[in-house]
Amino acid sequence: MEKINIIVDETNEGTRIDTFIRDYCEELSRSRIQQLLDDGCIHVNDEVKKNKYKVKAGDEIVVEIPEVKELEAIPQDLNLDILYEDDDIIVINKPKGMVVHPGAGNPDNTLVNGLLFHCKDLSGINGILRPGIVHRIDKDTTGCIVACKNDKAHEAISKQLSNKTCSREYIAIVHGVIPHDNGTIDAPIGRDPKDRQKMVVTDKNARDAVTHFKVEERFKNYTLVSFKLETGRTHQIRVHMQYIGFPIVGDPKYSLRNTRQDTEGQVLHAKALTLVHPTTKETMTFNAPLPPYFEKLIEELRSE
**Are 144 and 172 within one domain?**
no
Domain-terminating residue out of 46, 65, 84:
65
Lowest-confidence segment of 39-43, 150-154, 262-266 by average pLDDT: 262-266
**Are 128 and 169 within one domain?**
no
Distance of CA 277 to the CA centre of its chain: 26
Phi, psi angles (nearest 5°) of residue 179: -75, -30
**Are 123 and 19 within one domain?**
no
Domain-terminating residue out of 28, 48, 65:
65
Domains contained in the chain, number: 3
Query: Would you say residue 69 has pLDDT above 60?
Result: no
Domain-terminating residue out of 65, 89, 108:
65
**Are 36 and 171 within one domain?**
no
**Neighbouring C-alpha atoms within 13 Å toward the C-beta of 1:** 9
- Fill in the amino acid letter for 168: R
**Are 281 and 192 within one domain?**
yes
> How much is the pLDDT for 196?
72
Query: Would you say residue 81 has pLDDT above 80?
Result: yes
pLDDT category at 177 given cuts 50, 70, 90 is very high
pLDDT category at 75 given cuts 50, 70, 90 is confident
**Are 294 and 168 within one domain?**
yes
What does pTM read for this prediction? 0.75
- Rounded to whole angstroms, how far apart are CA atoms 183 and 216? 12
Report percent pLDDT > 90 for the chain. Answer: 53
> How much is the pLDDT for 123?
78
CA distances from 256 to 128, 138, 152, 168, 202 (A): 37, 19, 44, 27, 19
**Are 33 and 89 within one domain?**
no
**Taking residues 257-271, what's their average pLDDT?**
82
Q: What is the pLDDT of residues 5-14, one digit of tens each?
A: 889 988 889 9
Residues noted as catalytic: 138
pLDDT category at 45 given cuts 50, 70, 90 is very high
**Are 173 and 294 within one domain?**
yes
> How much is the pLDDT for 126?
64
Q: What is the pLDDT of residues 97-111, one digit of tens each?
A: 999 887 767 778 889
| Pairing of β 142-148 and β 268-276 | parallel
The enclosing domain of 54 has a CATH number of 3.10.290.10
Which H/E stretch holds residue 285? strand 283-287
pLDDT category at 178 given cuts 50, 70, 90 is very high
**Taking residues 178-207, what's their average pLDDT?**
90
> How much is the pLDDT for 70?
52
Query: Would you say residue 171 has pLDDT above 80?
Result: yes
- Rounded to whole angstroms, how far apart are CA atoms 251 and 138? 11
| Domain, as residue range, for 143 | 69-163
Q: What is the pLDDT of residues 198-257, one digit of tens each?
A: 899 998 888 999 999 999 999 999 999 999 998 889 899 999 999 999 999 999 899 877
**Are 252 and 202 within one domain?**
yes
Lowest-confidence segment of 21-35, 72-86, 266-280 by average pLDDT: 21-35
> How much is the pLDDT for 260?
60
**Are 250 and 290 within one domain?**
yes
Instruction: Pick 219 or 125 by higher pLDDT.
Output: 219
**Are 266 and 224 within one domain?**
yes
**Are 293 and 177 within one domain?**
yes
The enclosing domain of 108 has a CATH number of 3.30.2350.10
